[in-house]
Amino acid sequence: MKNEPWLAIDTATEVASVAVGSPEHTAAARSIRGARQHAAQIVPLIREVLALAKVPLGQIAGIIVGDGPGSFTGLRIGWAAAKGLAHERELPLIAIPSLLGFAHAAAGEDARRGRPIAACFDALRGQVFAAIYAFSANRVETLVAPELFTVAALARVTPVRPLLAVGDGAARYHDEIVSWIGRSPVPLETLSPVAGSLLALFSYHGARRAIDDPRVAEPVYGRPAEAQAKWEARYGRPLPHSSR
pLDDT, tens digit, 9 for 90 and up, residues 44-64? 999 999 999 999 999 999 999
Sign of the C-alpha dihedral computed for residues 231, 237, 240 and 244 taken in this order: positive
pLDDT grade, residue 156 (50/70/90)? very high
Per the prediction, the chain carries an average pLDDT of 88
Whether residue 189 has pLDDT greater than 90: no
Residue 191: DSSP 8-state:
S
Please choose, from the candidates 173, 163, 228, 211, the residue with its C-alpha nearest in 3D space to the C-alpha of residue 65: 211
pLDDT grade, residue 115 (50/70/90)? confident
pLDDT grade, residue 1 (50/70/90)? low
Q: Residue 135 forms beta bridges with which residues? A: 140
pLDDT grade, residue 136 (50/70/90)? confident
Catalogue the E-assigned strands of the chain: 6-10, 15-21, 26-33, 63-66, 93-96, 117-122, 128-136, 139-149, 164-166, 209-211
Cα dist from 113 to 31, 68, 138, 208, whole Å: 27, 25, 11, 20
Residue 230's pLDDT is: 47
Please choose, from the candidates 225, 231, 99, 227, the residue with its C-alpha nearest in 3D space to the C-alpha of residue 168: 99
Please choose, from the candidates 53, 86, 72, the residue with its C-alpha nearest in 3D space to the C-alpha of residue 11: 72
Residue 241's pLDDT is: 47
Residue type, 73: T
Whether residue 243 has pLDDT greater than 90: no
Whether residue 234 has pLDDT greater than 60: no
Report the distance separating Cα 212 and Cα 103, nearest Å: 26
Tell which wins on pLDDT, 153 or 235: 153
Please choose, from the candidates 33, 91, 35, 37, the residue with its C-alpha nearest in 3D space to the C-alpha of residue 65: 91
Q: Which of 55-69, 75-89, 95-109, 208-222 has the lowest mean pLDDT?
A: 208-222
Q: Which residues of 103-120 are buried (b: 16+ CB within 10 A; e: fewer)?
A: bbbbbeebbeeebbbbbb
Report the distance separating Cα 126 and Cα 149, nearest Å: 9
